[in-house]
Structure formats: C-alpha cells, structure tokens
Amino acid sequence: MKKILVVGSGGREHSLVWKLSASSTRSKIYCAPGNAGIARQAECIPVKAEDIAGLTNFARQESVDLTVVGPEIPLTMGIVDSFREHGLLIVGPDSQAAALEGSKVFAKDFMKKYNIPTGDYRVFDSPDEARAYVRKHGTPLTVKADGLAAGKGVFVVMTEEEALTAIETILDRKAFGAAGKRIVVEEFLQGEEASFIVFTDGTTILPMPFSQDHKAVYDGDKGPNTGGMGAYSPAPVGTPEVHEKVMKKIMMPAIEGMATEGRKYQGILYAGLMIINGDPWVLEFNVRFGDPETQPLLMRMKSDLLPVLEAIGNGSLHKTRIEWDAGAAVCVVMASSGYPGRYEKGKIISGLEEAESINDAQVFHAGTARSGGHIVTNGGRVLGVTALGGTIQKAIDHTYKAVAKINWDGVYYRRDIGHKALKQ
C-alpha cells in the first residue's frame, strides 16, 4: 500500500485528496493540515503547510511514498528542496524554480528574455521614480507588488490617483512588507482571461484543458477580487488554435528557458492568460494548481491522477497519457458573507448530504471545521460545490441544484458562475 501526503487545507487540496482516493492503487492518504471534508477521505495531521521541517520529519517517519503540494508558500520556502535532500519523492518546483510565482520581477524579466508574450513593464524600488513614470505614462496601468501577497498585491488602476495610491500602499506604507520592496508597473491588457495549467517533469508537458476563474466577489464581475468565487472548464475562449499558441509561445519556451537558467521546472505550472484577438498573453505564472480551477479540472480528469504525479516525480511523463471528460464541469464557491473582508465563523452548515446525493456533484470543503458533532464554517471560502454535465449549461444546472440544498446563517455565493462561457 502506498502512502501519499497532500499539503494544504483548501478546496483545491480536497479535490486532490478526492481524486487520489479514487486511484486504482490502494493507498493511505494523509493531508496536512486538511479540513473537515478532507478528513473523510484522508488522515489529517496537525502540521501547518508552511512548517517545512515538520512536514519533512513526518514524511520521513511515516516513509511517505509521494507528496503533492497545493499552496505556493511552502514551494517558494523550499519544501521540495528539503524533501529531496532526504530522498523523498515530491511533486512541485524547488525554491529556485518557484521564483516564477515568488517574484513578479523575476517572472517578467524571464518572460522578456525568452520572448514569452507579456505586457510591457518597468520595475521600481523608488516610489518617487515610480510616481514620475506614472505621471508621464498615464493610465490605465497595473501596479504589482514583487513578492507573494495572497492575491492582494495587484492593483488594476484606471486613474493617476489610483496609481499613486497603489504606489504609496506598496512602496511607502509597506502594506505587504518585504514582498513590496519592489513593484512592477505593467501595461493594462484588455481581453478575456483564462487559466492554462500543465503537468511537467521538466521535459515533457501534459496540459490540462482550459479553465476560467471568477475572481470578483459579486455577480457580473463586480466588487473586490477574491481568491476565486467559482470556475469552469472547458473555457470556450481556449480554442484549439489558442491552445496550440499557448503551448508553442508560452509553455514550451518557459520550461526550456527555466532549464537553461539552471532552474529546471518540475511540477504543476499555471499560466494566467489574457486572450486578445486570439493571441495569449501571460498575466502571471503560478507554480501550483489553481484554486478553484482544480476542482472542475479534476472532476473532468478520467485518468488516474496518481501515476501522473509519480511520472512527474520520476521524470517519465513522456510515457503517460491523460483522458478528459468531453463534457464540462462547474464549481461554485459558497462563501461567508463579508468575504474577502471581515466575516464570522462557526456557523452550522446544513444540507451537505442532500447536495452530495445529486448526481455527478461533489462538495469540496475549504474553510470548514468539526464542532460539537456539526460541520461549521471556518473561513471565507467555505465550500466548492462542483458538478459535471454534458454541456456547460447542464453542469451549471447540476451545480446550482446541489448548491440550493446547502445553507448556513450568512451564506453567500455568486449566481452567475459559467455564464460568461454561455455568451461565447
């Protein structure tokens, strides 16, 4: 029996645990630290995702055969370096390769060097020079903190005043600490966003289908950005022609370029794209699975995930094929009202079993906990209800049918997940 460790505690990690638990290879799955939903399919261990030494020790003591990492922070901190030093098999980039997400300055300079299409940009550490540039250049623009800021370090600014506020927030007030020592000021790109995520062993690239996230908190993409309020796959904007361009102009040069830089990239690579008149431009790289994109993607994945992850770790991905469901999958995130701002926790969730009894629906847990025999809310994004359907419309219908069964005091979710795909 194999032992597998999944690192993280969100909806993305629950979908990984769910998919791995359906593997034809019988295995014991651990999750660190996990959540109340994950606890049904895995043994949750109370070690935080950022506790690299604690996770390494656990994997050594238990002789874990394979580890897969959900969030970016342990990757940029060097969890892969640490596991490899101890001869443990782990899927993900080492700290050198994880700089593709850990530093936007590194990622932009890298893309420029290898001719990967991305918006024009300038890098500043002096707020006065940044202000002078913005006044001369004018808006719209984007202003981005260099380092990791939990998705909060990116400002899309429409006026000079907003641009100056963003510069002040990051460089003068140091709202993101050391992650904001430098900023990237980047050209504003207008088009349709899509996510393109691949498996790679550093040589072979196996893509997942296109997906699309809904970052804004309210219907119609209004309101502040969140970690993601829902996702669907496939994304109609990702035509076969666009797919080929992304592979040729972005993914292949990125994987080859990283190897040339002495930062061989192994793991999951996520390109956040803007598709403009049929051409893909990179907004950002993430060095991991997307959340919530992974939930619909793994529901569409017909092949066993475990051999794919093992092949990444062993460098034998060229021997692997992946089959995908020809239909669609939609994930609706059910959140605590107030998120991404302040919200309350500890509300009793009802209707979970009824929702899961709906055909082809899965309820992936994110911010949940067990308390007094109940499952209660324990975070901003609480659940990711995900369902398959022959078409996007059918997947939307199945998902919202399951969503309607679930309730708690203060539940909030978007009603329009997937609608953009229907318009295409």
Interface residues with ligand AMP (CB under 6 A)?
119, 142, 144, 154, 156, 186-189, 193, 215, 272, 283-284
Phi, psi for residue 29 in degrees, rounded to 5: -110, 130
Distances, alpha carbon 323 to alpha carbons 209, 279, 303, 389, in Å: 10, 26, 5, 16
Residue 139 or residue 350: which is nearer to ligand AMP going by CB?
Answer: 139
Q: Is 127 helix (H, G, I), strand (E, B) or coil?
A: helix
Nearest-approach distance from CB 423 to ligand GLY, in angstroms: 21
Q: Is 318 strand, coil or helix? A: helix
Half-sphere exposure (Cβ direction) of 212: Cα atoms closer than 13 Å: 21
Report which DSSP code applies to 406: -
- Out of ligand AMP, ligand GLY, none, what residue 193 binds, judged by CB under 5 to 8 A for its kind, is ligand AMP
Q: Which does 11 bind (CB under 5 to 8 A by kind): ligand GLY, ligand AMP, none?
A: none
Nearer to ligand AMP, 13 or 146 (CB): 146
Does position 94 bind ligand GLY by CB under 6 A?
no
Asked if residues 92 and 99 have their Cβ atoms less than 8 Å apart, the reply is no
Q: Which residue is nearest to ligand AMP (CB)?
A: 284
Shortest spacing between CB 228 and ligand GLY, in angstroms? 4
Q: 386-404 burial by CB neighbour count: b if 16+ within 10 A, else e? A: bbbbeebebbbebbbebbe
Nearer to ligand AMP, 189 or 301 (CB): 189
Residues 5, 17: contact at Cβ < 8 Å?
no
Q: Which two tokens stand for residue 335?
A: 């959140």
Q: Nearer to ligand AMP by C-beta: 142 or 266?
A: 142
List the interface residues with ligand GLY, window 207-266 (CB under 6 A).
213, 228
Q: Choose among ligand AMP, ligand GLY, none what residue 156 binds, the Cβ cut-off being 5 to 8 Å by kind.
A: ligand AMP
User: Candidates 20-28, 284-292, 332-340, 416-424 — which segment interacts with ligand GLY by CB under 6 A?
Assistant: 284-292
Strands 2-8 and 66-69: what pairing?
parallel
**Nearest distance, CB of residue 350 and ligand GLY, angstroms:** 28
The separation between the first and the last C-alpha atoms of the chain, rounded to the nearest angstrom, is 46
Query: From the list ligand AMP, ligand GLY, none, which binds 293 (C-beta under 5 to 8 Å, kind-based)?
Result: ligand GLY
- When CB distances are held under 5 to 8 angstroms depending on the partner's kind, the choice from ligand AMP, ligand GLY, none that residue 129 binds is none
The rounded distance, in Å, linking the Cα atoms of 208 and 301 is 9
Residue 286 as a binder of ligand GLY (CB under 6 A): the answer is: yes
Using a 10 angstrom Cβ sphere, with 0-12 exposed, 13-18 middle and 19 or more buried, the burial of residue 225 is middle
Gap between the Cα atoms of 226 and 10, Å rounded = 14
Which residue number places its CB atom closest to ligand GLY? 290
**Which distant-in-sequence residues (6+ apart) come within 8 Å of 360 by Cβ?**
387, 388, 389, 398
Which of ligand AMP, ligand GLY, none has residue 304 at its interface (CB below 5 to 8 Å by kind)? Answer: none
In the region spanning residues 375 to 414, those forming contacts with ligand GLY, defined by CB under 6 A, are none
Of the candidate residues 291, 296, 355, 380, the single one contacting ligand GLY (CB under 6 A): 291
293 scored as a contact of ligand GLY (CB under 6 A): yes
Cβ atoms of 331 and 417 within 8 Å: the answer is: yes
**Binding partner at 259 among ligand GLY, ligand AMP, none, C-beta below 5 to 8 Å by kind:** none
Kindly state the greatest CA–CA separation across the chain: 63
Per CB under 6 A, residues contacting ligand GLY are 213, 228, 286, 290-291, 293
